[in-house]
Amino acid sequence: MTCGEAIKRIASYDFLASVDYIEGIISVVCVIIIMEYLFGQEGKMTVKAILPIIVFVSVGIILRIVSYAIDYSVLSKRANEIYDESIYLISREEKVVSIGRIIYFIAIVMSGMRVFKKKKLINSISLLVFAIFFIEYVMVMSINVVAYWEEDPRIAYGDVKKMDLTSNNYLLEYALIMSVLAILIFILMTLYFGFVKKKRKMYVAWKYRIFFIIWEIFTLLIHWIPFNRELSVDEHYRYVGYELGIFIPFLGLVIPLFLVTLISRRYTMEKVKIQENYILAELDYLKQYKNDQNETRTFRHDIISNLATLSTMYSEEKYDEAGKYLSNLLGNIKAMSPKYITGDEMLDCIVGMKISKMEEVGIDFTLDGVLDGGLKMKPVDICTIFANAIDNAIEACERLPEESDRWIKLKIKRTDKFFSISLINSMVEDKKTGVINKIFYDGERFTTKKDKSLHGYGTKNMKAAISRYDGIERVSAEDGVFTLSIILPRA
C-alpha cells in the first residue's frame, strides 16, 4: 500500500470514527431512556441535559478533521512511496485515542448529573457502565453478523476484531460500523415511539435486570471461543459461521424483547386496574346523580304541599308544631345534599366510592377545605393519584387493631397559584422509616403486599401523574400518623 492509498484509508477511518462518535450519543440516549422509562429512575432528558456528550462529539469530529489535515500534509509529500508504519500519524497515536475515550467517559457522567434528579452520582456512574456494556453488546452482535456473511467467517472475524490501516479487509469496518449504527437507530426508534412519545413508563424488576446482565456477559465472552487453540479449523468455522453468526444476533434481540413483553403485561394489568377504578368512580357518580335527580323531583313535588301545611299551622298559631315540621323538612333537605363536597366532580366520585369501604372497616373520614374551581387535570390522572392514595390510607388503617382509632383526613388549602392537598391517616406506629423511603424516594417499585409481581406500581403511577402537572409530593410518618402532601398548580 502506497502513502497515497493510505490517505484514502485514513479519510475512511476518520469518517468511521466520526460515525462512531455519533453512535456514542445514540447509545447514551438509549441508556438514559431505559433507565428513566424501564428502571424507574427520576430524570428528564433534554438537549440541554445531554449537552456535555454533544459537545464532546462535536469537538471529537473537529479534531478528526484537524488530524486528517495534518496526516494528509505528511503523506501527500510521499504519495508514491510504500507506506511504512514507522511514519508518524496523529490519527494513529494511541495516546490521542485514549484521551478521547477518557473525555467521552467524563462527558457521559456529566450528562447523567444533569439528567437525573436523585442519586445523581450513583445514577451517572451506572449510566457510564451501562452505556459501555450496551455499545459492546451491540458491537458483538454486529461483529458476528458481519463475519458470518464473509466467505471465510473465521478469518473475517479475526480481521474485524483487530482493524488497522494495513488490513486487507478494512472495508469490513464499514460494514461493522454501519451495522452498529443501524441497530442503534432501530433500538432508539423503538424506545422513542414505544415509551417516550407515549409517556409510557414501566418497571423492570431486579430479577430481570440480573438475568439480562448475565446474558450480556455471556454474549461478550462467548465470542472468544473460536480463538481457543484446542479447536480445529472446522470447529472454528462452525462456531463463527453458525453458532455466533446466527445464535448470538438472533437471541441478542429476542431475549430483551421477551423481557419487555413480560414487563408490558404487568404494566397493562396495572393500567387496566386504573381504568377500572375510573369507570367504577364514574358509574358511582352516575348512580348518585340519578338518585339525586329522583330525590329532587320528589322534593319539588312535595314542596308546595309542605309549604301549604306550614302556612296552615302558622295561621292556626300552632307554632311549636310548625317549628318541628320545619326542622324535619330541613333535615330532609340536608340529607339530599352530598355528604362530602371537595369542589372537583371526579374527586367527589372517588371519595364517595371509598366512603362505603371506610364505614365498613370503621374508619372515620373528615374533609377540610374545598378545591375552588376544581382540579384542571384529566379525570384518569385524578383517579390515579387519589384513588391510589386513599386505598393506601385505608390499607394502613386496616393494619391497626379494630379497637384502635382509625381515621383519614383530607385537608385542602389553596393559594393564588397552587392547591395544597394533604391526605392524613392513622397507621401502625413504626420507628423504621425505610418502607416510606423506598416507596416514595428511592425511585424503585416497592410493595408491602404478598403478590409483589402484580403490585407496587400504584405509587409510581401516582408520582408520574403528579409530575405530569409539575406537581410535588412529600410524605412523612411520625407518631402513628402518615401524611401525604401534594402541591398542584391551579391552572
* Amino acid 445: pLDDT: 40
Grid cell of 208 as nine digits: 430481570
| Cβ neighbour number for residue 86 with a 10 Å cutoff | 5
* Amino acid 87: pLDDT: 66
Contacts of 89 (CB under 8 A, 6+ apart): 10, 71, 74, 75
> Using alpha carbons only, what angle is made at residue 27 by residues 117 and 100, rounded to the nearest 5 degrees?
95
Are 96 and 67 contacting, i.e. CB atoms less than 8 angstroms apart?
yes
**If you count them, how many residues does the chain have?**
491
Which domains are seen in the chain, by residue range? 3-201 (no CATH), 340-489 (3.30.565.10)
* Amino acid 332: pLDDT: 61
Cα–Cα distance for residue pair 166/357, rounded to 1 Å: 77
Contacts of 103 (CB under 8 A, 6+ apart): 56
Lookup result for grid cell 448470538: 248
Q: How confident is the model at residue 420 (pLDDT cuts 50, 70, 90)?
A: very high
Cα–Cα distance for residue pair 94/87, rounded to 1 Å: 14
Grid cell of 133 as nine digits: 456494556
Q: How confident is the model at residue 439 (pLDDT cuts 50, 70, 90)?
A: very low
Cα–Cα distance for residue pair 238/428, rounded to 1 Å: 64
Contacts of 290 (CB under 8 A, 6+ apart): none
Tell me: the pLDDT tens digits for 397-413? 998 888 889 999 999 99
For residue 460, give the amino acid letter.
K
Q: 2: which DSSP letter? A: B
pLDDT of residue 444 exceeding 50: no
* Amino acid 167: pLDDT: 53
Which carries the bigger pLDDT value, residue 348 or residue 231? 348
pTM above 0.85, yes or no: no
Q: What is the mean pLDDT of residues 251-268?
A: 68
Look at the alpha carbons of 346, 349, 353, 355 in this order and tell me if their dihedral is positive or negative: positive
Which carries the bigger pLDDT value, residue 108 or residue 203? 108
Distance, first Cα to last Cα, the chain: 70
Grid cell of 64 as nine digits: 478528526
CA distances from 427 to 363, 385, 436, 479, 484 (A): 12, 20, 12, 9, 13
- For 19-80, the DSSP string reads HHHHHHHHHHHHHHHHHHHTS---B---TTTTHHHHHHHHHHHHHHHHHHHHHHHHHHTTTT
Label the pairing between strands 472-478 and 418-426: unpaired
* Amino acid 158: pLDDT: 54
HSE at residue 4, side-chain half, CA atoms within 13 A, is 3
Contacts of 189 (CB under 8 A, 6+ apart): none
Grid cell of 95 as nine digits: 495516546
For residue 397, give the amino acid letter.
C
Q: How confident is the model at residue 238 (pLDDT cuts 50, 70, 90)?
A: low
Grid cell of 451 as nine digits: 403478590
* Amino acid 417: pLDDT: 85
* Amino acid 446: pLDDT: 39
Grid cell of 43 as nine digits: 430524570
The helix-helix angle for 379-398 and 458-468 (nearest 10°) equals 140
Question: In whole numbers, what is the pLDDT of the chain averaged over residues?
Answer: 75
Label the pairing between strands 481-489 and 472-478: antiparallel
* Amino acid 387: pLDDT: 85
Phi, psi of 388 (to 5 degrees): -65, -45
pLDDT of residue 214 exceeding 60: yes
Cα–Cα distance for residue pair 82/84, rounded to 1 Å: 6
